[in-house]
Structure 1
Amino acid sequence: MPLHMRFGTDDLLRCRFALSPLCETHEAVRTLRRTERHGYHQAWLRRSREAAAGLDLRPLWLFMPQPGYTPDFLGRPPATPSPTFAEELALMRGTDPALARQEMATSLAGTPGAAESALGRELMADPAAAVQRLTDLTERAWHALLAPDWPRLRTLLEADIAYRSRQLATGGLRALFADLHPDLVWAEGTLTLLNRRGDFFQEQRLAGQGVLLLPSVFAWPNAVSGFAEPWQPTVIYPARGIGGLWQTPQAPSGALVRLLGRHRSAILCALGEPASTTALADRHGLAPSSVSAHLSVLRDAGLLTSRRHGHQVLYERTALGIALAG
């Protein structure tokens, strides 16, 4: 059923973006369970199956009904724009057992037989132990499934936020929501999420909290609503550029290699989406200092521009760089 998020004056001033490695870990775990519509993530799935086989993910999957409610304590809204995984995990580990029990019961109630299952009864019998068990499992899933690729994922997510921020600055919320996801509709001060998973509530008054917008790689292809009171209402949406995330960068032509050199031409061709020095170094197997030197040359030649986003500098191609790479 659709979800209608009603904006007041204060809500318009309190919309913000953030990244969440913890939420992304849980979305990756959810992706492993899907039997269809893996789409863009087939390459990641092939690489991750072996690592996932060493994890017993059933306790997490139990609280990820499709459709249905996932406990908010598994990944509360980030308080800062770009928290570390360790910071978010510490908050999850410190969850009040009474709150955890309430949210786990709500989640299990949406799946027939889940609360009566052996695993459901075991986790509900000791909520404090359940919190620690789920936190430990989330930490293992992070290291096995996401941490090796996080520099690449973070760069893509930060590039999405930079793009969306420019949309917001030039066209306001109407321009932002018009392009965010086909299931998101903005009209008359209300953001409506169509084709939503689950039907546990149909209207949400933001009460001055605004909306947190959380780009995600593994939420694809859905836009997802998250978090009930007391947390800030959140929309998790697929980030731009997922289609090329797991692809091998386009090989530069022989003419471009002769003109720019092997590494500079490869870096230029890899910048289909903005990227940081660290992400490019990881992608090409080069030292960050070498990549930084190549980026400086390409920028000085008018082929790239750079801009700061948070703690990183992102590079993207100019019109001349796009033409040359093509």
Structure 2
Amino acid sequence: MDDRPHLIAVMGGSGVGKSSLIRLVTGDERMVVGHDLSPSTTDISPYEFQYQGRTIILIDTPGINQPFVSEAEVLTRLLRWVREIYGPERKLSGIIYLHDINAVRMQGSVLRGLNGLAELCGDESFDKLVLGTTFWDRLAAEEIGRDKELELQRPGGFWHHLVQRGARVKRVPGTREEAREILFDMRRQGAMLIAQEGRLLLEGVAAQANAEPEELKIAHARELQEREDRSRSQVEQMENQIRVNQARLADLEAERRQRDKDHRLNIAIEDWEGRKTLLGLEWELNRKKSIAVFEARLQMMALHGRELVGQTSAPLFVSKEKWVEQRLGPRPNPCTVQ
């Protein structure tokens, strides 16, 4: 019975949950879990745990889609690391390749890494490759993830050729015991045979990187088109935002002009009201004075007779209102007074 630790490599693009899985399974608090697309792993690191009396070592690897690390470099670095740490005869017990089930599309760099991984596996080692889907809890509905899972495996899907040759698809669970069971089951399959391992170590899979399959060319073109579309969309969004801001500024300026106009109108109204009040008070005072004169002359006429009244030129048969109007004129309009 081989009591040596079982080596399982954890691979995949950045942000697919490699660090989260290792931390869940091992309970190692040193494991930094990233919550964005920035890679939290830039080198190869082993994390050991015990399960059912066996030692299992998970090997954390850099994200295959990191801009500063090629898929060839990641795969070659993994092989060299295993040889240097455990000797030239040691083999991996398996590889678990993680994929975010929420991903809209397979990135070209991830697809290149996946095809490179297929080249690594010997014909008898695909059963030691687990394609694990992560972050099911982030889906709006499980049916969405199930459809994506089937799409990856059906003819023409990115995983179809791997599944046809024996790779297994697993949903990475959120509990430690269930996740450990998946990894523990991988060690039962025996050692993983790496095809052309010597050439890969010597050449760094240069030939593999140069011989680009047609689907990778399509993926590259799609990725470039997506970047161009994103850039164009960002420019359009900025232009739209500029137009919105300009319209908003125009509205604010119109509001300011209207406020100024309303303010000037209010001032004019207040001035008019003041003038009307002042003129009205003045006219009313003169009216009262005229009425007093009129009534005084009537009294004089009653006391001293017509002769005295005639000397004062007071009207004999004019009404009080007519007398006031003759002396003062009509009530003044403030709008016609300068």
TM-score of the pair, normalised by structure 2: 0.21
Higher relative contact order (CA 8 A, sep 6+): 1
Structure with greater proportional helix content: 2
**Larger Cα-atom Rg:** 2
